């Protein structure tokens, strides 16, 4: 236990040092570049870049336990729900995002929050994937390359968040931007098909349109972004932060 | 004076031989049919789900792969530690380990979501994954043990036997380390994430592999009508006692370590007391039937017969399957801890004990793995001289049998006096 | 040795001629029956037909990796655009248009199995525009 902790501290210290060094270099060599490059400026044709770290801040205090707008939005956008022509099979039907209700048995305090792929900086699913089908884009989005996924499900064993689903049957009528197929593993894509064109994820959009505004999406690396300012100002938490994976999804009020 | 052991192929033309081969062939056919069904419909027709992602096929596959490594024990003892008595038993040991690995891998691969993309697993690698390493360890095992078998059976290469045997032994230790690490490296799950998994899998492999070896050699010599002496069987009994005891010891340490940390009390309570089928499988299947009972049989002076040894070995195999079942499926059935100390609930079964009931196709696929092992051995001993013509005591260890004869003669003399 | 070399040389030349010949419907009168292809919408494809026939998989694969790994969207060789032009009426299913049938015409003929449409949508989507 102690050795684990020390390891993490050393690692964090090393990262801080390297980060500081990188920042100094950037500051001294190209002061203009970082100011000009705004993360939101990615055009559809541009390649994504390491400058960005896409993330989300979810305020559980604004998240109603009855509300499933984000889940519905994701299902509509990506098409993962139970098909209309058959009964639900809850054990094997995919769930890219779900509402989790938490109760503290000692105090009876409760809260509710959406949980999906947490887009970790050090994703365990990417570590264990034998073929490299699980991968992390340079901007921090964790995806599955279904062209080389062999369906071994080791990533599902490794994910601490139960964020991934295995496609247990033939799929038809997929959305053009969300290919899904039997025998491969899938999860939240952080709506990269929208984000790459300068948009925001469907769940965040639906939550905001309904006036709840519990979800905030943006570039954690851009100090000018709303999300970066928010996480700097308020206390936020990551789920299972003890694992040291540094998820890109942060929560308030949990 | 050293006597040359005579190896030869079995005749393999009796009706019984063909009937048995046909039987195993039918089981393999059924397993392929089950695979086709599962792959065609998708995995929803199995008991596996988004909660229990690895099921009965993985139990069989991991058991067979682990046993494959252990089946090489006998050959290692012969070639590496140069124990003469085991020399005659070595080629079958190598053959059995190759067959077991083939059976295990076949089951594993046929359960993939996309078995048609197996080639991808050979061309696209992520070297941070222990799975990717295992692909090399498994395929390498075929090469290494294949060469070792050749060296053992071809008198021209007799000088390389020790080198090849040592290399094969190191390789199979690595292989089982890799297999154990599949679970040992899973930081997210309460039941895994323990360094002890790798050495525990090694000792499990010793016990399962030797038990299967004993069963196979008895079955084969019985079937081929070749003499098999008690001495051979009993020597391996002693080794088996040590291995079964060690498995129990490692299991004890694994659970004691977990019990010390409060954060693991939940999962330990689940496996050891409240887990329903998993608790039963752990205590009755693994600890009693697979551990204490065979130990009692192996130690009991009245049970020093071949029949009792076969019963003990069968129990160890059964207990081993239970143990792997509890590790793989019991380990997954306990929910992931998203919020330590909190109660959670969701539409995706968060915070609930996951239920798993295997479907028939899964079971048929797993049994097909065993059938494939049997079929490979049956064919191999027919086409290549893996088996000594006689394993009578006087052929294996003339010195021992001479002593035994003298003793028996003495007893007879005493009785008649 | 020499003779076999000559044989292979002739075989290679033949193969080049046969494989290099554009296999349009016009060739159907030749000795080997050729698939009768549906034409896509518009004047011409992104590249000359011979190039498309031979290299379409490379274009698609390159594009797919760019999109998946680098997030580059809306470029020339996108599968969505292929579907846009090449979704053709499916025989026996009235009103349904699918690119899968278009691909199958050649792929069945050449016995090349593809699994693109196990995951990717092959039909025109309402939002995707003109579905007849």
When divided into structural domains, chain B yields a total of 1
* A172 and A68, same domain (yes or no): yes
| Contact yes or no for A154 and B42 at CB 8 A | no
Structural domain contains residue B301? yes
* A55 and A66, same domain (yes or no): yes
* A51 and A95, same domain (yes or no): yes
Q: What chain C residue is nearest to A180 in terms of C-alpha separation?
A: C119
Q: Nearest C-alpha of chain B: how many angstroms from A53?
A: 23
* A202 and A226, same domain (yes or no): yes
Kindly list the partner chains of chain A, i.e. chains with 3 or more CB atom pairs below 8 Å: B, C
* A126 and A245, same domain (yes or no): yes
Residue of A174, A180, A183 to mutate, testing the C interface (most C Cβ within 10 Å of its Cβ): A174
Judging contacts by C-beta atoms under 8 Å, the chain B residues touching residue A183 are: 39, 42-43, 112-114
- CATH number, residue A248: 3.30.70.20
* A90 and A203, same domain (yes or no): yes
| Contact yes or no for C71 and A47 at CB 8 A | yes
C64 reaches A (C-beta below 8 A): yes
Structural domain contains residue B406? no
Per-residue pLDDT of chain B (417 residues; tens, 9 = 90+): 455 788 999 998 899 999 999 999 999 999 999 999 999 999 999 999 999 999 999 999 999 999 999 999 999 999 998 888 888 999 999 999 999 999 999 999 999 999 999 999 889 999 999 999 999 999 999 999 999 999 999 989 988 999 999 999 999 999 999 999 999 989 899 899 888 999 999 999 999 999 999 999 999 999 999 999 888 888 899 899 999 999 999 999 999 999 998 889 999 999 999 999 999 999 999 999 999 999 999 999 988 888 999 999 999 999 999 999 999 999 999 999 999 999 999 999 999 999 999 999 999 999 999 999 999 999 999 999 999 998 887 777 666 666 666 666 666 665 555
**CA distance readout (Å), B276 to A18, B324, B333, C37:** 51, 16, 11, 62
Structural domain contains residue B6? no
* A57 and A113, same domain (yes or no): yes
Judging contacts by C-beta atoms under 8 Å, the chain A residues touching residue B261 are: 1
* A216 and A144, same domain (yes or no): yes
Q: Collect all residues with Cβ–Cβ distance below 8 Å to B251 and sequence separation of at least 6.
A: B200, B286, B287, B291, B323
Q: What chain A residue is nearest to C61 in terms of C-alpha separation?
A: A147
C75 reaches A (C-beta below 8 A): yes
When divided into structural domains, chain A yields a total of 2
| Contact yes or no for A176 and C125 at CB 8 A | yes
Structural domain contains residue B10? no
* A22 and A52, same domain (yes or no): no
How many beta carbons lie within 10 A of that of residue C4, not counting itself? 8
| Contact yes or no for B346 and A101 at CB 8 A | yes
Q: What chain B residue is nearest to A118 in terms of C-alpha separation?
A: B338
| Contact yes or no for A44 and C72 at CB 8 A | yes
Domain hosting residue A124, numbered range = 37-252
* A160 and A61, same domain (yes or no): yes
Per-residue pLDDT of chain A (254 residues; tens, 9 = 90+): 444 444 445 566 666 666 666 656 555 554 444 333 344 557 888 888 889 999 999 999 999 999 999 999 999 999 999 998 899 999 999 999 999 999 999 999 999 999 999 999 999 999 999 999 999 999 999 999 999 999 999 999 999 999 999 999 999 889 999 999 999 999 999 999 999 999 999 999 999 999 999 999 999 999 999 999 999 999 999 999 999 999 999 999 98
* A14 and A113, same domain (yes or no): no
Domain hosting residue B306, numbered range = 20-394
**Beta strands at A54-59 and A249-252: parallel, antiparallel or unpaired:** parallel
Structural domain contains residue B14? no
In the numeric block, the tokens 């993985």 are attached to B58
| Contact yes or no for A158 and B187 at CB 8 A | yes
* A81 and A118, same domain (yes or no): yes
Which residues, numbered 92 to 151 in chain A, qualify as contacts with chain B under a Cβ-Cβ cut-off of 8 Å?
92-95, 98-106, 115, 124, 126-133, 148-151
- CATH number, residue B383: 1.20.1630.10
Structural domain contains residue B2? no
Structural domain contains residue B148? yes
Task: Provide the ipTM.
Answer: 0.91
User: At CB < 8 A and 24+ separation, what contacts does B162-167 make?
Assistant: B162/B79, B162/B80, B162/B82, B164/B79, B165/B75, B165/B76, B165/B78, B165/B79, B165/B80, B166/B79, B166/B80
> Contact at 8 Å (CB) between B216 and B387?
no
């Amino acid at each position: 236990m102690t050795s684990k902790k020390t390891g993490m501290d050393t690692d964090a210290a090393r990262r801080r040092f390297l980060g500081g060094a990188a920042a100094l270099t950037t500051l001294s060599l190209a002061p203009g570049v970082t100011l000009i490059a705004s993360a939101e400026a990615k055009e559809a044709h541009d390649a994504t870049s390491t400058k960005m770290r896409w993330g989300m801040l979810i305020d559980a205090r604004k998240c109603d336990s009855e509300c499933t707008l984000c889940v519905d939005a994701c299902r509509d956008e990506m098409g993962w729900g139970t098909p209309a022509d058959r009964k639900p099979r809850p054990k094997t039907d995919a769930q890219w995002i779900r509402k989790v209700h938490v109760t503290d048995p000692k105090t009876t305090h409760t809260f509710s929050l959406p949980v999906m792929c947490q887009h970790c900086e050090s994703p365990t699913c990417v570590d264990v994937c034998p073929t490299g089908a699980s991968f992390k884009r340079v901007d921090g989005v964790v995806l599955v390359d279904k062209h080389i996924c062999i369906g071994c499900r080791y990533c599902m064993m490794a994910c601490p968040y139960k964020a991934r689903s295995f496609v247990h049957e033939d799929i038809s009528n997929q959305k053009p931007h969300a290919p899904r197929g039997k025998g491969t593993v899938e999860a939240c894509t952080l709506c990269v098909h929208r984000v790459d064109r300068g948009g925001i994820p469907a769940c965040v959009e639906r939550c905001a349109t309904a006036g709840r505004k519990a979800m905030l999406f943006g570039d954690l690396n851009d100090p000018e972004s709303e999300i970066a300012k928010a996480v700097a100002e308020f206390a936020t938490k990551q789920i299972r932060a003890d694992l040291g994976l540094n998820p890109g999804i942060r929560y308030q009020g949990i | 004076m050293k006597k040359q052991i005579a190896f030869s192929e079995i005749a393999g033309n009796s009706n019984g031989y063909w009937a048995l081969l046909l039987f195993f062939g039918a089981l393999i056919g059924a397993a392929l049919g089950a695979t086709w069904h599962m792959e065609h419909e998708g995995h929803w027709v199995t008991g596996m789900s988004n909660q229990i992602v690895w099921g009965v096929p993985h139990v069989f596959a991991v058991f067979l792969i682990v046993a494959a490594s252990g089946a090489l024990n006998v050959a290692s003892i012969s070639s590496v530690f140069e124990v003469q008595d085991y020399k005659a038993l070595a080629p079958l040991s190598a053959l059995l380990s190759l067959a077991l690995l083939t059976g295990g891998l076949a089951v594993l691969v046929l359960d993939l979501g996309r078995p048609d993309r197996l080639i991808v697993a050979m061309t696209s690698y992520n070297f941070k994954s222990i799975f990717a390493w295992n692909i090399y360890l498994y395929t390498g095992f075929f090469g290494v043990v294949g060469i070792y078998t050749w060296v053992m059976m071809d008198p021209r290469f007799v000088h390389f036997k020790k080198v090849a045997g040592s290399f094969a032994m190191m390789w199979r230790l690595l292989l089982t380390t890799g297999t154990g690490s599949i679970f040992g490296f899973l930081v997210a799950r309460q039941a895994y994430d323990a360094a002890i998994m790798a050495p525990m899998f090694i000792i499990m492999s010793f016990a399962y592999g030797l038990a299967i070896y004993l069963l196979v050699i008895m079955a084969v010599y019985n079937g081929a009508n070749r003499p098999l002496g008690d001495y051979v069987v009993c020597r391996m009994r002693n080794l088996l006692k040590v291995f079964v005891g060690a498995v129990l010891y490692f299991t004890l340490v694994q659970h004691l370590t977990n019990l010390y940390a409060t954060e693991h009390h939940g999962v330990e309570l689940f496996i050891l007391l409240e887990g329903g089928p998993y608790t039963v499988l752990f205590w009755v299947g693994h600890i009693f039937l697979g551990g204490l009972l065979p130990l009692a049989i192996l130690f009991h002076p009245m049970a020093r017969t071949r029949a009792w040894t076969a019963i003990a070995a069968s129990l160890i195999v059964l207990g081993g399957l239970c143990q792997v079942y509890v590790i793989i499926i019991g380990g997954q059935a306990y929910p992931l801890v998203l919020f330590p100390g909190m109660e959670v609930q969701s539409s995706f079964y968060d915070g609930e004990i996951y239920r798993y009931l295997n479907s028939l196709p899964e079971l048929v696929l797993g049994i097909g793995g065993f059938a494939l092992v049997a079929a490979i051995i049956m064919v191999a001993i027919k086409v290549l001289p893996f088996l000594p013509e006689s394993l009578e005591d006087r052929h294996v260890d003339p010195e021992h049998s001479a002593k035994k004869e003298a003793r028996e003669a003495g007893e007879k003399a005493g009785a008649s006096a | 040795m020499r003779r076999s070399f000559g044989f292979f040389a002739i075989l290679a030349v033949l193969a080049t001629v046969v494989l290099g010949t554009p296999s349009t419907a016009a060739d159907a009168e030749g000795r080997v029956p050729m698939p009768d292809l549906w034409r896509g919408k518009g004047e011409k494809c992104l590249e000359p037909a011979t190039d498309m026939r031979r290299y379409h998989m490379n274009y698609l694969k390159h594009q797919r990796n760019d999109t998946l790994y680098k997030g580059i969207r809306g470029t020339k060789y996108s599968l969505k655009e292929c579907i846009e032009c090449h979704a053709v009426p499916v025989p026996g299913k009235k009103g349904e248009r699918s690119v899968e049938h278009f691909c199958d015409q050649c792929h069945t003929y050449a016995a090349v199995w593809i699994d693109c449409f196990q995951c990717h949508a092959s039909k025109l989507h309402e939002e995707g525009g003109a579905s007849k």
